[in-house]
Amino acid sequence: MIEVSAKLERSGFALDVDVACKPGVIGLFGPSGSGKTTLARIIAGFEEPQTGEISFDCQPLYSTKQCINLKPHLRRVGYVFQDTRLFPHLTVGENISYGLRFQTSSPSIDFEELVSLLDLDGLLSKSPAALSGGEAQRVGFARAVMAHPKFLILDEPLSSLDQMRKYLVLKYLEKLKFRYEIPMLYITHDPSELFRIADSLVILESGKSLASAPLEDALGDPKFAAFLGVDALCRFVNAQVQEHLEGGLTRLSLGQQSLILAGLNAPVGARVRVRIPAQDVILAKGTLPLLSARNQLTAEVTDIQRGHGPGALITLSVDQQSLLVRVTAQALNELSLAVGDQCYALLKTLGFNARDVMI
């Protein structure tokens, strides 16, 4: 458990946070200037709050009450910066082994294994200046992980990359997460980065921690949508690869029903988790005409929430799993849907993105 309460005031800005999160990957989300980096620097010990209590697994790193202020290197907090800050005079390999000098705990991290996990084998003798943005970030991750930190802070590491590169680099971060189980604070102002990597979410706005929740609860909660944007609303469903079909498609079983996606690179029987964005689901009632949508799931309406704007949020039960659907209030009226009604949830196969499927 990481627990942070801290207050810091500087001209025109006040930070006042109080958060407690289980380890795993904590997504820290907030607009630019909301105090994310300030909070990260306080946790790492680069900046001192006016008052605060910071502990990790009940061990205090900073405590006004107990007069504790551990020096940054004793906190064993790793920090990956947006601009990587690799040492330009060292090769990639030397940059990564630089982390070794901070490694005190055993079992230690194996250099070769880490390098191969991040596909950096071919880059070791290169200079950081010769790397692409995504490669440089992977080297930054490797250097930080090599020091085997107790906690790793990643401060907007992907914000200079385009969406496609972000996704590719996030896959490497996901590998690190599962291989080394180092608790992380992942800072971003892009909700799409959170879907894959975060386990819980903390919202920071104008220096205040406004809300925190497990990621999947937050992504289905209209309260969080006020910060993340309504297009981030979604649900995750569990499914299993049932068969690979002709035409480059894969059929997943979703209880008694199936979900057809573009071909997945996973064996039959593999368990997957699929993110279904609320705005991508179309609702239908009655007898269906011929439709291009490959996924026509039978569902039951379990909840309806009308918002103040044009949209309404409907929760469906599909074979004991839940889907969230965002449609206009006008459509809801026209379909005259009520809790307990049967309907169809229509999903386009090609509407799914590889980023939405966790294998």
Nearer to ligand ADP, 52 or 93 (CB): 52
Least gap, CB of 32 to ligand ADP (angstroms): 4
CA triple 333-334-336, angle to 5 deg: 60
- Rg (C-alpha) for the chain, rounded Å, is 23
Q: How many residues bind ligand ADP (CB under 6 A)?
A: 10
> Are 212 and 18 spatial neighbours (Cβ–Cβ below 8 Å)?
no
Backbone conformation region of residue 292, classed left if phi is above 0, alpha if psi is from -120 to 50, else beta: alpha
Q: State yes or no: residue 36 binds ligand ADP (CB under 6 A).
A: yes
Least gap, CB of 307 to ligand ADP (angstroms): 28
Q: State yes or no: residue 38 binds ligand ADP (CB under 6 A).
A: yes
Identified binder of ligand ADP from the candidate list 33, 72, 134, 222, rule CB under 6 A? 33
Least gap, CB of 46 to ligand ADP (angstroms): 10
Q: State yes or no: residue 35 binds ligand ADP (CB under 6 A).
A: yes
Task: Please report how many Cα atoms fall inside a 13 Å half-sphere around the Cα of residue 95, on the Cβ side.
Answer: 29
> What are the DSSP E strand ranges found in 146-286?
151-155, 184-188, 200-205, 208-214, 234-245, 249-254, 257-262, 271-277, 282-284
Q: State yes or no: residue 37 binds ligand ADP (CB under 6 A).
A: yes
C-beta contacts of 293-296 below 8 A and 24+ residues apart: 293/346, 293/347, 293/348, 293/349, 294/249, 294/260, 294/347, 294/348, 294/349, 295/258, 295/259, 295/260, 295/345, 295/346, 295/347, 295/348, 295/349, 296/344, 296/345, 296/346
Three-class SS state of 313: strand
Q: State yes or no: residue 45 binds ligand ADP (CB under 6 A).
A: no
Nearer to ligand ADP, 33 or 133 (CB): 33
Q: How many residues bind Mg ion (CB under 5 A)?
A: 2
Task: List CB contacts of 292: < 8 A, sequence separation 6 or more.
Answer: 348
> Are 235 and 276 spatial neighbours (Cβ–Cβ below 8 Å)?
yes
Nearer to ligand ADP, 13 or 87 (CB): 13
Q: Torsions phi, psi of 66, nearest 5?
A: -95, 10
Residues 258-317 that bind ligand ADP (CB under 6 A): none
Identified binder of Mg ion from the candidate list 34, 37, 95, 212, rule CB under 5 A? 37
Q: State yes or no: residue 209 binds ligand ADP (CB under 6 A).
A: no
Least gap, CB of 55 to ligand ADP (angstroms): 21
> Are 163 and 134 spatial neighbours (Cβ–Cβ below 8 Å)?
no
Q: State yes or no: residue 188 binds Mg ion (CB under 5 A).
A: no
Q: State yes or no: residue 49 binds ligand ADP (CB under 6 A).
A: no
Structure token digits, residue 87:
């040492």
Which of these segments, 33-41, 133-141, 225-233, 265-273, binds ligand ADP (CB under 6 A)? 33-41
Nearer to Mg ion, 36 or 196 (CB): 36
Which of Mg ion, ligand ADP, none interacts with 336 (beta carbon under 5 to 8 A by kind)? none
Identified binder of ligand ADP from the candidate list 1, 9, 10, 333, rule CB under 6 A? 10
Which of these segments, 36-44, 86-94, 236-244, 322-330, binds ligand ADP (CB under 6 A)? 36-44
Residues 9-28 that bind Mg ion (CB under 5 A): none
Distance set, CA 16 to CA 155, 188, 209 (Å): 19, 19, 7
Residues 98-117 that bind ligand ADP (CB under 6 A): none
Binding residues for Mg ion, per CB under 5 A?
A: 36-37
Q: Contact residues for ligand ADP (CB under 6 A)?
A: 10, 13, 30, 32-38
